[in-house]
C-alpha cells in the first residue's frame, strides 16, 4: 500500500497545486464464490470483497471545479468539469462513473458545495470481471459520504452506485457488485438475497489455502446476448411452473419440487435452465453451511458441481473456461474451481493449497495455452474489507 500511496502522491503533486489535506480512500473489487445466474431468478449469491480494488487520493477544492486523473488511463489526461454540470459526456470516458455517483448524491438532496482534485488508481485487471466499475462507484460514494456528511450506511452507498451504473452509464447490472464492494468484511463472504437485500456473513477460514483468480483472456463477446437469452428461458420456465405452483421466482423451489413437476416441460432445454437456477441456489445455501462447519472440502465440491451445472444445464461456460477449470480439477493442490461471472470468458475462481500456488499456476497456464492458444493471467487474492478511508495515510 505504501508504494501505491507514494505513486499517487507523486502524480498528484505533479498535476495539481492544492494545499488542502490529501486523503486516501479505497474500494475493493469482488469475486462471486458460488451462486451464478441466481440473482435474477430470486436466489442468493455469495461474493466476497477482495484485497485489490480502486484507490483515490483526494483533496477538496475551494471552488466548484473537479479535476480527475487516472493512472490507469493516462492518455485521457486530466478530466475537468464543474459540480454544477454533471451531464454525461462521452469524452469524459472512465470519469463518467464517479460523475454519475455525484449526480445521484445531488438528486438525493446533497449539496455539492465544492469540487475535488483526485488521482485514481485501480489494481483490478481490466476486463477480468472482478467489478472495477462497481469499485469506482462505491469509492466515489464513500468519498462523498464523508466530505458531504450525508451519513449514508454502506447499503445506501451500494444502491447509489448501482443507480449510477443503471441510469447514468446505462448498464442494467444487479446490486451484487456494489454491495460486495461496500459491505465486504475481511476473511468473510456475504450470502445476499439480491431481491430483499437480506444478507449474512459467513466465515472464510481458509488458512493453508488461497483464492486464485484465473483470467481466461477470452473476449466475452457472447455474454450479453446469452444473458438475455437465459433470462427469457428462465421466465418461460417460471411461467410454466406458475400454472400449477404458487411461486414468484425459481429460487423458491427445491430440486425435488422441480423434478415432481417436470411433466410441465415439453422443452428439455427450458427444464435444464430451471434446474440450474434451482440447484445452484441450493448449492449456495449448502456452501454457507459448509463454511460455518469449516468443511472446505465440501465447499470445494460444491464449487465443482456449480461449474458442471453452468456447463451442462445452463451452457454459459465455453471451451476456454472449461479448459481452465478442468486443468484446475486435475491439480492435486486444488480442492475447488469454477467459472465466476456471466460466462463465455472472464475468470475462474480456485481454492488452492498455499504451498501449491506456484506449481498450480505453472501447470494450469501450460495446459490452458496448449488447449486454447491463449495465455491466462493469475491473481492470488484474499477476502478483504469493504470501502473505507485508509486513515493511516494523511498528507
Task: Report the catalytic residues.
Answer: 177
Nearest to 27 by CA among 2, 5, 50, 58: 50
| Dihedral sign for Cα atoms in the order 195, 148, 2, 134 | positive
What is d(CA 193, CA 175) in angstroms, rounded to the nearest whole number? 10
Q: Are strands 116-122 and 47-60 parallel, antiparallel or unpaired?
A: antiparallel
Alpha helices in 122-213 (DSSP H): 132-147, 154-163, 176-183
Q: Are strands 116-122 and 65-70 parallel, antiparallel or unpaired?
A: parallel
Residue written as cell 469482488? 30
Residue written as cell 505533479? 14
Nearest to 207 by CA among 108, 353, 305, 97: 353
Q: Are 138 and 181 in contact (CB under 8 A)?
A: yes
- As given in the structure block, the three cell numbers for residue 91 are 469524452
What is d(CA 321, CA 340) in angstroms, rounded to the nearest whole number? 9
Amino acid at each position: 500500500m505504501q508504494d501505491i500511496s507514494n505513486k499517487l502522491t507523486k502524480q498528484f503533486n505533479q498535476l495539481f497545486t492544492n494545499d488542502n489535506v490529501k486523503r486516501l480512500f479505497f474500494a475493493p473489487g469482488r469475486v462471486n464464490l458460488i451462486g451464478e445466474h441466481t440473482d435474477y431468478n430470486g436466489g442468493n449469491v455469495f461474493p466476497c470483497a477482495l484485497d485489490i480494488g480502486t484507490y483515490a487520493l483526494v483533496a477538496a477544492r475551494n471552488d466548484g471545479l473537479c479535476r480527475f486523473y487516472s493512472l490507469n488511463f493516462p492518455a485521457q489526461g486530466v478530466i475537468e468539469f464543474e459540480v454544477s454540470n454533471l451531464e454525461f459526456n462521452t469524452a469524459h470516458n472512465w470519469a463518467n462513473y464517479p460523475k454519475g455517483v455525484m449526480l445521484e448524491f445531488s438528486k438525493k438532496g446533497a449539496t455539492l458545495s465544492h469540487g475535488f482534485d483526485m488521482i485514481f488508481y485501480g489494481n483490478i485487471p481490466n476486463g477480468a470481471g472482478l467489478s472495477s466499475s462497481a469499485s469506482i462507484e462505491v469509492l466515489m460514494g464513500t468519498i462523498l459520504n464523508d466530505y458531504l456528511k450525508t451519513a449514508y450506511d454502506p447499503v445506501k452507498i451500494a444502491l447509489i452506485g448501482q443507480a449510477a451504473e443503471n441510469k447514468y452509464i446505462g448498464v442494467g447490472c444487479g446490486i451484487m457488485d456494489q454491495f460486495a464492494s461496500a459491505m465486504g468484511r475481511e476473511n468473510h463472504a456475504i450470502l445476499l438475497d439480491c431481491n430483499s437485500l437480506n444478507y449474512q456473513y459467513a466465515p472464510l477460514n481458509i488458512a493453508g489455502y488461497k483464492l486464485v483468480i484465473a483470467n481466461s483472456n477470452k473476449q466475452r463477446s457472447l455474454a450479453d446476448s446469452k444473458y438475455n437469452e437465459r433470462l427469457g428461458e428462465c421466465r418461460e420456465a417460471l411461467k410454466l411452473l406458475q400454472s400449477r405452483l404458487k411461486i414468484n421466482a425459481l429460487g423458491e423451489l427445491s430440486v425435488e419440487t422441480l423434478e415432481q413437476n417436470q411433466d410441465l416441460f415439453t422443452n428439455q432445454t427450458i427444464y435444464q435452465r430451471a434446474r440450474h437456477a434451482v440447484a445452484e441456489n441450493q448449492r449456495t445455501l449448502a456452501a454457507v453451511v459448509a463454511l460455518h462447519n469449516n468443511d472446505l472440502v465440501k465447499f470445494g465440491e460444491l464449487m465443482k458441481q456449480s461449474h458442471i451445472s453452468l456447463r451442462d444445464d445452463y451452457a454459459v461456460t465455453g471451451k476456454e473456461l472449461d479448459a481452465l477449470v478442468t486443468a484446475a480439477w486435475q491439480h492435486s493442490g486444488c480442492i475447488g474451481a469454477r467459472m465466476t461471472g456471466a460466462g463465455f470468458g472472464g475468470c475462474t475462481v480456485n481454492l488452492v493449497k498455499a504451498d501449491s500456488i506456484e506449481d498450480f499456476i505453472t501447470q494450469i497456464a501450460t495446459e490452458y495455452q496448449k488447449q486454447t492458444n491463449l495465455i491466462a493471467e493469475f491473481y492470488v487474492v484474499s477476502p478483504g474489507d469493504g470501502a473505507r478511508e485508509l486513515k493511516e495515510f494523511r498528507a
